[in-house]
Structure 1
Amino acid sequence: MNIHLQLWEQDFILHPSGAVYWPEQEMLLISDVHLGKISHFRKHGSAVPSKAIAENFRKMDLLLKEFDPEFLVFMGDLFHSALNMEWELFAEWISKLDQQIFLIAGNHDIISPLKYELLGISMYSSLKIENFKLTHHPEDSQHLFNICGHIHPGYKMRGLARQTLRLRCFFLRKQQLILPAFGEFTGNYFMKPEEEDQIFAITGKEVILVN
C-alpha cells in the first residue's frame, strides 16, 4: 500500500519499492540502485545469488507499468562502480523505455557521462523543479524543499518481546525527504528521528507511518 503526502502544495506517492512518484510532474524518483554491486561482490567470491540482479530490473518495470511516468529520475548512485556485465543489461533495459531519463550524479557514479549520453540519459549535479531541489547528498537548500538519497535510511522497529525489525524507510524532515536505497543488497543507516521528523517504514508491500 502506498502513502500519499502533500509537501509544499505538491503531491507525492511513497511506494513500497522505495521509489517516489510526483504526479504533478509525471516524474518517478528512484535513488541508490547500485547496479553492478551484485556482480562486483560475486566476482570477489561473495555468495550473492545472481537472480538478485534481475530483481532490480523487475521492480523498475513494475513501477513504470504502475505509474507510466513521463520522466524517470535516478537520484544518484545508479551504478555502484566501474563497468561490469550489468552495464550491458542496463543498456538493453534502457533501450526499451520511452521515458525521458535523468541521472543526478552520486559519489558512486564514476562511469563517464558520455556512456550515459549514448543511452539517452541526461546527467546533472542537481535539478531544481518548482520549489524543490533534487540532489543525491542531503542539502540545506534554504528556500527550497530538498529531495535526496545517499543515506540509505533505515529504522529499527522494536516489539514488546524485544524482537527487532530492521526496515528501510523514507525519512521526512521539515524541509527534506530522504529516499531509501532502491537496490538489492545496499544496506541501511539507522536514523534517529528528532521530534518533528517522520519515519515511513517499508514493511513488505506496505509503507507505514511509525512515529
Structure 2
Amino acid sequence: MTLPIEIKNQQFLLHPLGGIFWEEKSLLLISDVHLGKVAHFRKFGAAVPRKALHKNYLLLDEIVEHFNPFQICFLGDLFHSSLNKEWELFENWVAKIPSEIILVSGNHDIISPHKFEQIGVPIFQELILENFLLTHHPEEREGLFTFCGHIHPAVRLQGFGRQKLRLPCFFKTNAQLILPAFGEFTGTHVLQPKKEDEVFAIVENEIVKV
C-alpha cells in the first residue's frame, strides 16, 4: 500500500491517497486538499452532489488513522476559497484530530490567519526542518530538499494501441518532491519527467514507480 523512499538519510512513506509520512518526525505531509471547493461551486449553481462535501474528510480520516502522526502539515491550498458553509465541517474535523495541525500558506489560502489560529492551526509562509524546505510552490534552494504542492502533478502513460492513462503522481527531482493534490474535487497537470527524475504514480490503491 505505502512505498518507502529515503531522502537525505531520512525515511519517508508515500501513501496512495497522496500524503507523505516522515517517519523520524512522525510528520504527515498533505497538499492541495481544496476544502470548501464543493460548497463554492454549489453556491454558483454547479451540479455537484452534496455528499461530495464529506468525501475529503473521510479520506483525511483514513490517512490520519493509518499513520497516527504526531503532527500534520498541510502544504498550502487547504481551503479553496473565502469562508463558506464548509468551514464548520473543517472546525469539527480539527477538533476531533489528536495530531497537531499546521498550515504552510498557499495561493488559495485567503481566509484570515486569525480564523485558523482560533482553532489552533498556526500558519507559516514556509518551514525549514533539518535539511528540508516545506513550502507550497515548487522551489529549488541550495542545501535544502523541498517538499511542495501547487502543481497537482500527473503522468501520462501509453498502453496497448492508442490507450492512454493519466495518473496523479508524486514527482521527484534531485532537489524537490511535488505532492499530488489530496482533494477529490481537483484537476491534474501532466509533467514531462527528465531522465534523472523519479515518478511515483497512484494506481488504484498502490504506488507504482514508473
Q: TM-score, normalised by structure 2?
A: 0.98
Match of 1:171 in 2: 171
Aligned residue type for 2:47: A
The amino acid that maps onto 1:71 is Q
SS in 1 for 2:46: coil
What RMSD, in angstroms, separates the aligned Cα atoms of the two structures?
0.8
Match of 2:68 in 1: 68
1:43: Cα distance to partner? 1.5
1:2 matched residue in structure 2: 2
Structure 1, unmatched stretches of 5+, are none
Aligned pair count reads 210
* Unpaired runs of at least 5, structure 2: none
Partner of 2:105: 105
Secondary structure of 2:180's counterpart equals coil
CA distance in 1, matches of 2:124, 2:9: 25
2:195 maps to a residue whose letter is E
The code of the aligned residue for 1:14 comes to L
- Residue 120 (structure 1) aligns with: 120
Higher mean C-alpha displacement, 36-45 vs 85-94: 36-45
Equivalent positions of 1:127-146 (< 5 A) are: 127-146=127-146
Letter in 2 for 1:144: L
Deviation at 1:100, TM superposition (A): 1.1
Tell me the CA shift for residue 149 of structure 1.
0.4
Runs of 4+ in 1 over 6 A off after TM superposition: none
Q: Deviations over 1:149-180 (max 9, x none)?
A: 00000111110121111111000000100000
1:1-211 aligned at under 5 Å gives the runs 1-210=1-210
Provide the TM-score with structure 1 as the length reference. 0.98
Q: Percent of aligned pairs with the same residue?
A: 52
Q: Distance in 1 between matches of 2:52 and 2:8?
A: 37
**Cα distance per residue 1:49-102 (max 9 Å; x no partner):** 222221100111111111010001000000001001110000011111121111
The one-letter code sitting in structure 1 at the alignment partner of 2:123 is M
Please give the secondary structure, in 2, of the residue aligned with 1:13: strand
The CA distance in 1 between the partners of 2:51 and 2:157, in whole Å, is 28
Distance in 1 (CA, whole Å) between partners of 2:65 and 2:100 is 15
How big is the shift at 1:143?
A: 0.5
Amino acid at match of 1:208: V
Corresponding letter in the other structure for 2:202: I
